[in-house]
Structure 1
Amino acid sequence: MMQRELPALAVSPEVQLAALAVGALVFATALAAGLLLHPAGLERRARALGAHADSPQTPRARGAQLLAWIDWAIARLSLVRATERRALARTLALAGFRAREAVSLYLATRLLAPLAGALLGLAAGPHTGLAPTAAALAGAGLGLAAPPLFLANRRQRRRQAIERGFPDALDLLVICVESGLSVDAAIARVAGELGRAHPVLAAELQLAAVELRFLPDRADAFANLEARTGIEGIRALVSMLHQTERFGTPLAQALRTLAAEARTAALLRVEERAARLPAVLTVPMIFFILPPLFIVLVGPVIAQLLSR
């Protein structure tokens, strides 16, 4: 049987030049990163790699080494200042990324995303009918805007998840405190009970319970909980816990009042979304619902008139 030859893939000169430019950019980046190292550091790193070359490593260990290398490389490049790095770390924590290498990994993603977008744009250019340069620029623009949009979207969804579970958490806190549990035990118990219904809030409360046991100052644990969540309800809860510990006010009564306010606020948010629904549905109704309705109702009459 004769083998069928595959047609040769035609590559335009613009695509070839773009591939060469990308290869040169990657080589220059790797060379610059190597030159930033001290020669003694290079020798020490080579000896360490040689010592661990024969030892078996798990995928998790290799992933940890890769994250450590990315963190080291981004730190050596000094892309952001210390204040900007702390602000970015707080933003990432609000989105749920609390790892030590989260800032470096996000910065590396922002550096590589335009390059990946440009390559995808060049690959999709012949199928979209765009010129290679326009396709590469469009892909680079999408890659540049994708990480901040993803971070903002994840932060918003995480905030909404915490707000949905906060009234239930307050109700459970009221029950636990009225049954005789301390604040630390009540928070740990509520975190365990909310694990399935509201896992995001349960994880934050579990971390707060651990910090309450190990941190020397309880105020630091409450401040960390407020900084990690960033919602008004948690801020009010932390302020109320500070007041009860400082002035000795009844904790159960204060929690019950706060729980009623949280339920009222949640109901108001639902009513606000319901009130916005007619305005939101106006545009889809005009463009997608009314035209088919007119075609179904008036179409037969027009067809009969044209057939006469």
Structure 2
Amino acid sequence: MTVVFVLGVLLVFVAIALLAMALRPAEEAEGLNRSLAVIEAIADAPKELRKDLEKPFGERVLEPLQQRALAVGRRISGADAEERIRRSLDLAGNPAGWTVDRVTASKVIGAGIGFSFGLLAGMVLTDALTLRLVIAAVGVVLGFFAPNMYLYQLAYDRTNKLQQELPDAIDLMTISVESGLGFDAAVQQVAHNTQGPLADEFSRMLREMQLGMGRAEALRSLNERVNLDDLKAFVSAMVQADSFGIPIAQVLRVQSSEMRVKRRQRAEEKAQQVPVKITVPLIFFILPTLFIAVLGPAAITIMDNF
């Protein structure tokens, strides 16, 4: 009897619900019909009318996220953060698509991603709440400074490449000047006939001179964009030669000779560092393997005899 009573009550509630749905207000039905009509109109509309509704994921989600991250990054950054980031971009060669705003926003987004990965890693590695928070904090720090480390690595690689290209570029410049070309034409020869960051910097210097900047000022601007001692010495010598009227060919010849000497000295320095650098892998990897190969059979024979 109890089961029959419960089934009866359920059937009564179902009947009441069906009756309420059947007698729903006309306004609600009209609203539903209007929504369906709007959806059908959007589906049947031309592509030009649906552009705003079919924006790519980057425009709908990534750009607003970047703008919010940029606002947060500007609040937490120092007053000179923009100048320091611009300096890092210049040293890195101004990578395509990288701007001060993008770096600032990337630091905030990186901090959020680092926090998420750090928290997940803490939950997997340990059960202690303190260690989880420490790992999450480390992830935040790494994510926040990841763009700076990336730009630093780009600047480091670019500086090494500039150091390798500079002696040959000065040799070519010396030959061009001694053959009768002016300094600007010699720089243009280097910019057009070579490839790499040094050629890009010389091309930028020539464009600045074409826009009305003086030669000395353009050379100083080049000096500020590149953190290389050899290039600084070259720029200083060129500025002094331009100021005092010293023949450019003679200065370039002296600079070319000094660059070759410095390049040879750097090669000798690296050659002398090889024995020191090879000590660690020799002790921890090569010698143990050698001992196993030499003493292993003897150890096995001794163990068999005992």
Superposition TM-score, scaled by structure 2 size = 0.71
Aligned to 2:147: 147
Q: Does 1:209 align with 2:209?
A: no
Instruction: Quickly say closer, same or farther: Cα 1:124–1:100, change in 2 above 3 A.
Output: closer
C-alpha displacement at 1:97, in angstroms? 2.3
Aligned to 2:28: none
Instruction: Quickly say closer, same or farther: Cα 1:157–1:243, change in 2 above 3 A.
Output: same
C-alpha displacement at 1:129, in angstroms? 5.8
Aligned to 1:238: 235
Instruction: Quickly say closer, same or farther: Cα 1:117–1:58, change in 2 above 3 A.
Output: closer
C-alpha displacement at 1:274, in angstroms? 1.4
Q: Does 1:276 align with 2:284?
A: no
C-alpha displacement at 1:111, in angstroms? 1.5
Q: Does 1:249 align with 2:246?
A: yes
Query: CA RMSD, aligned part only?
Result: 3.4
Q: Does 1:169 align with 2:166?
A: no
The answer to whether the Cα contact below 8 Å between 2:73 and 2:105 also exists between their aligned partners in 1 is: no
Q: Does 1:220 align with 2:221?
A: no
SS of corresponding position for 1:249: coil
Q: Which amino acid aligns with 1:164?
A: Q
The answer to whether the Cα contact below 8 Å between 2:82 and 2:100 also exists between their aligned partners in 1 is: yes
Aligned to 2:180: 180
Aligned to 2:300: 303
Give the Cα separation in 2 of the matches to 1:139 and 1:107: 17
Give the Cα separation in 2 of the matches to 1:128 and 1:306: 42
Query: Larger deviation: 157-166 or 124-133?
Result: 124-133
Which has more radius of gyration?
2
Superposition TM-score, scaled by structure 1 size = 0.70
2:102 alignment partner, one of 100, 105, 124: 105
Give the Cα separation in 2 of the matches to 1:220 and 1:100: 27
Q: Deviations over 1:214-240 (max 9, x none)?
A: 133222211111111121222122222
Give the Cα separation in 1 of the matches to 2:84 and 2:171: 33
Structure 2 gaps of 5+ residues are 1-48
SS of corresponding position for 1:160: helix
Instruction: Quickly say closer, same or farther: Cα 1:76–1:271, change in 2 above 3 A.
Output: closer
Q: Deviations over 1:183-230 (max 9, x none)?
A: 1221111012211xxx11111111112112113322221111111112
Give the Cα separation in 2 of the matches to 1:126 and 1:203: 48
Give the Cα separation in 2 of the matches to 1:242 and 1:223: 8
State, as a whole percentage, how many aligned pairs show the same letter: 32
Instruction: Quickly say closer, same or farther: Cα 1:164–1:74, change in 2 above 3 A.
Output: farther
Counting only pairs closer than 5 Å after superposition, residues 67-106 of structure 1 correspond to structure 2 as 70=67, 73-74=70-71, 77-97=74-94, 102-106=99-103
Give the Cα separation in 2 of the matches to 1:291 and 1:76: 51
Q: Deviations over 1:75-129 (max 9, x none)?
A: 9944445544223311221122277962222222221212111222344556656
Q: Which amino acid aligns with 1:255?
A: L
Give the Cα separation in 1 of the matches to 2:56 and 2:189: 35
The answer to whether the Cα contact below 8 Å between 1:115 and 1:143 also exists between their aligned partners in 2 is: yes
Query: Larger deviation: 78-87 or 221-230?
Result: 78-87
Count of paired positions: 252
The answer to whether the Cα contact below 8 Å between 1:240 and 1:254 also exists between their aligned partners in 2 is: yes
The answer to whether the Cα contact below 8 Å between 2:92 and 2:158 also exists between their aligned partners in 1 is: yes
Give the Cα separation in 1 of the matches to 2:218 and 2:55: 36
SS of corresponding position for 2:167: helix
